[in-house]
Amino acid sequence: MYFILERINSPADLTQLSISEMEQLAGELRRLIVDTVAENGGHLASSLGAVELTLALYKVFRLPQDKVVWDVGHQAYAHKILTGRRERFATLRRKDGITGFPRRAESVYDVFGVGHASTSVSVALGLAAARDICGRGEHVIAVIGDGAMTGGEVFEALNHAGELKKNVIVVLNDNGMSIDGHSGALSDYLSRLRITPEYIRAKHELEGLIKHIPHIGETVYKTASLIKEGVKSAIVPGGLFEELGFRYIGPVDGHNIKLLTEVFDEVRQLDGPILVHVRTKKGKGYIPAEIEPEKFHGVGPFEVSSGQVKKKAAPPSYTQVFSDTLRELARENRDIVAITAAMPSGTGLKAFGEEFPERFFDVGIAEEHAVTLAGGLAAGGVRPVVAIYSTFMQRAYDQIFHDICLQNLPVLLCLDRAGLVGEDGATHHGVFDLSYLRNLPNLTIMAPKDENELRQMLAAAFSYNSPVAIRYPRGAGLGVELQKELQPMERGKAERMAVPEVDAAAAPVTIFAVGSQVDSARQAAVRLKNEGIDAAVVNMRFIKPLDIDTIASVVNNPATKLIVTAEENVLAGGFGSGVLEAIADMGANVPVLRFGIGDEFVPNGTQKEEREYCGLLPEQMAEKIAARYKKAVEK
Ligand SMILES: Cc1ncc(C[n+]2csc(CCOP(=O)(O)OP(=O)(O)O)c2C)c(N)n1
């Protein structure tokens, strides 16, 4: 039973609650969050850490007029539940359900859609500037974690906010960690912002001085003591935020609802840019998540009583194979260094860091810096590997162009979670990389058909001595045998796949496929064979350079009636577009059917549901190919 939560349908309902009822409500929210994530998977530890903070903010400020902008949005489950989505919370991250992140189309309280880090201060500043232009008076609050604070965009926004001097509140939710532990020098700086004996002595002296100012002394002192940690900023040297033009208040215990509401009540009345530094505990209130906050950052379904994750037996993931193979290669080649942008576990580089600590860099949520750092490392004579999820690599596009490809440096970009990623949904799909990379000169782009081919491609990449990108999917491999021997792969050479009882040279249909779609294409070809249509399958391996000879041999084969392309990328500008360009350049006129992702953002579901939504399942492909083939031969 949720005695209090059941009565809360919007933040306005919080205004009636006493502090002790709010504390009880915090417990009920935690229970609902834990029980739901245990079923659906999701971002648990961050959301648990932000429960009291959310409650205090939503009690003090007047939503939806006042605007709370969440950074990343993975800590916003309490926000979702308190803003009219309690009933629908069971559908979290599911097909047709609510998303795991704030999303403008979902609720008026979701002020800004999010999923990628470090945007909240820029958004809040934009909202504040718009408010002033329109002559309104609402409060604008950005809530950002110490991990997200490592993203450069935040400092661009702080710099600008300090200049504009708008009324904007930044709440720094500092739990001392990003996903995997500590988040760099900034984290060290934040942890030093604590009450030291010198500070307390200095504060007393200052308070004494203020109190004795005639007439106004008592009033000034009252304000100063209500925002008492704010006084510190006048005393503690090097107040980074103060230097940037923010009034710094904190650190405040982020699990003390009474204190938080007092501080926010006070802050509401202040003008100018304000930064409230709140200390929280990641995973707060659920012991397994408090003990292992990394594991419960983003977690699959688990047993509530034990915290045991419900794992199905599966072949090793692409990430695991990448991790193992890179270390294998790095044992032989001492020049190999690896870079992650705050995702050592997610990208599989954690083990690399443990084995080769001096050759490993975790740069924080700083994808741009990660790529340019790699450029510098390569120019300095070593072989950097940058592993970043496809969706987050979007941040570093100019760096890939300017600092890697234009310099023609041998940097290996490993784009994990390429394609449809499942429950995290639209913000996290890695479906644009082939389009945004394919147009860059000097870059080789590969996509493995299975986990063994990923091994071979990694080995091959180091033999090319120029920029290389390898993109591979989220989740388990196909379960193929992993060949011990790592063989170099000829750059730009496709591989013909055997389809039972199909003679590729005589097949009227040829499917050119890349990455995860190679296996789907093969399965589709088997189905087509059962319907009496022979379809050959080519694993292109290289999106760039395309194997023009192989494409030409199919185009020029009189048996060819239909060419099919298949990729887990948007159709616009992707691999299929490349094949169309090649065919057009040959002056040929062959019917082409393309499979990929259409011109829309794919909503959340399981990976399979998303593939089905996009028509990428083998049975869907077979049906569509058969129909198009019949049309082609009727002509
Ligand atoms: C641009 C970008 N890079 C990487 C990520 C992956 N990511 C999600 S949350 C997170 C850590 C955020 O840490 P923090 O802001 O301190 O929040 P916490 O999880 O500790 O509550 C990372 C690296 C992301 N969402 N966006």
Q: State yes or no: pLDDT of 200 exceeds 70.
A: no
Pocket of ligand 1 (CB under 6 A): 46, 49, 72, 74-75, 116-117, 145-148, 175, 177-179, 282, 297, 341-343, 365, 367, 392, 395
402: Cα within 13 Å, side-chain hemisphere: 8
Give, in words, the CATH class of 319-471. alpha beta
Distance 351 CA to ligand 1 centre (A): 20
Query: Structure tokens of 548?
Result: 């023009």
Catalytic residue, candidates 282, 455, 544, 561: 282
- From the CA of 178, how far away is ligand 1's center (Å)? 6
> Residues in the chain, how many?
635
Nearest atom, ligand 1, residue 428 CA? 25
Report residue 212 CA to chain centroid gap: 53
- 364 neighbors 152 (Cβ within 8 angstroms): no
pLDDT band at 233 (very low <50, low <70, confident <90, very high): very low
Query: In this predicted model, what pLDDT tens digit does every residue of 80-97 receive, in sequence order?
Result: 999 999 999 999 999 999
Q: Hey, what CATH topology would domain 5-193+247-291 get?
A: Rossmann fold (3.40.50)
Output the CA 145–ligand 1 centroid distance in Å.
8
Give the residue among 550, 554, 570 at the shortest CA–CA distance from 562. 554
Q: What is the mean pLDDT of residues 338-367?
A: 98
C-alpha 300/C-alpha 175 separation (Å) is 22
Whether 282 sits among the annotated catalytic residues: the reply is: yes
Q: What is the pLDDT of residue 180?
A: 83
Say how many Å lie between the CA of residue 282 and the centre of ligand 1. 13
Greater confidence (329 vs 229) lies with 329
Question: What's the confidence (pLDDT) of residue 221?
Answer: 54
Q: Do strands 562-570 and 535-539 pair parallel, antiparallel, or not at all (unpaired)?
A: unpaired
Token reading at 266: 């006070």
Euclidean distance between CA atoms 271 and 55, whole angstroms: 23
Q: Which atom of ligand 1 is nearest to the CA of 148?
A: 15
Residue % of the chain over a pLDDT of 90: 88
Q: Do residues 194 and 232 lie in contact, with contact meaning Cβ atoms separated by under 8 Å?
A: no
Nearest Cα residue to atom 16 of ligand 1: 147
Quote the pTM value.
Answer: 0.93
Distance, CA of 232 to CA of 237 (rounded, Å): 9
User: What count of Cα atoms within 13 Å lies in the side-chain half-sphere of residue 1?
Assistant: 2
Strand 495-497 and strand 535-539: pairing? antiparallel
- CA–CA distance, 444 with 39 (Å, rounded to integer): 41
Q: Give the start-to-end residue ranges of the domains of the chain.
A: 5-193+247-291, 195-235, 319-471, 495-634
Distance 233 CA to ligand 1 centre (A): 27
Write out pLDDT tens, residues 247-264.
Answer: 999 899 999 999 999 999
Q: Looking at the CA of residue 43, tell me the nearest atom of ligand 1.
A: 19
pLDDT for res 215: 63
Q: Cα separation of 171 and 357, whole Å? A: 34
Phi, then psi, of 324 in degrees rounded to 5: -65, -45
pLDDT for 239 equals 83
Confidence of residue 528 (pLDDT cuts 50, 70, 90): very high
Above 50 in pLDDT, residue 29? yes
Q: Which of 37, 47, 72, 144 maximizes ligand 1 atoms within 8 Å of its Cβ, making it the mutation to test the pocket?
A: 72
Lowest mean pLDDT among 134-138, 216-220, 554-558, 615-619: 216-220
Q: Where is average pLDDT lowest: 225-239, 261-275, 285-299, 470-484?
A: 225-239
Residue 229 has pLDDT above 60, yes or no: no
Instruction: Note the pLDDT of residue 216.
Output: 60
The string of pLDDT tens digits covering residues 563-600 is 999 999 999 999 999 999 999 999 999 999 999 999 99
Give the Å distances, CA to CA, from 18 to 8, 82, 257, 261, 264: 14, 16, 10, 11, 16
- Residue with token string 């979702």: 80
Query: What is the pLDDT averaged over residues 50-58?
Result: 98
Quick one: pLDDT band at residue 487, thresholds 50, 70, 90?
confident
Instruction: Please give the average per-residue pLDDT across 313-317, as a whole number.
Output: 95
Tell me if 578 sits within 8 A of 544, measured CB to CB: yes
Give whole-number Cα distances, 156 to 69, 119, 143, 149, 402, in Å.
17, 10, 16, 11, 20
pLDDT band at 234 (very low <50, low <70, confident <90, very high): very low
Distance from the Cα of residue 19 to its chain's centroid: 35
208 band by pLDDT with thresholds 50, 70 and 90: low
CA of 414 to the centre of ligand 1 (A): 19
- Judged by DSSP in three states, 386 sits in strand
Provide the 3-class DSSP secondary structure of residue 82.
helix
Q: How confident is the model at residue 635 (pLDDT cuts 50, 70, 90)?
A: confident
Concerning whether 93 is annotated as a catalytic residue, the answer is no
Say what the pLDDT of residue 191 is: 80
Structure tokens of 290? 């408090």
Nearest atom (ligand 1) to Cα of 118:
1
| CA-nearest residue, atom 21 of ligand 1 | 46
Nearest ligand 1 atom, CA 75: 21
Topology match between the domains 319-471 and 495-634: yes
pLDDT given at position 194: 59
Q: What is the CATH number of domain 495-634?
A: 3.40.50.920
Say if residue 562's pLDDT is above 70.
yes
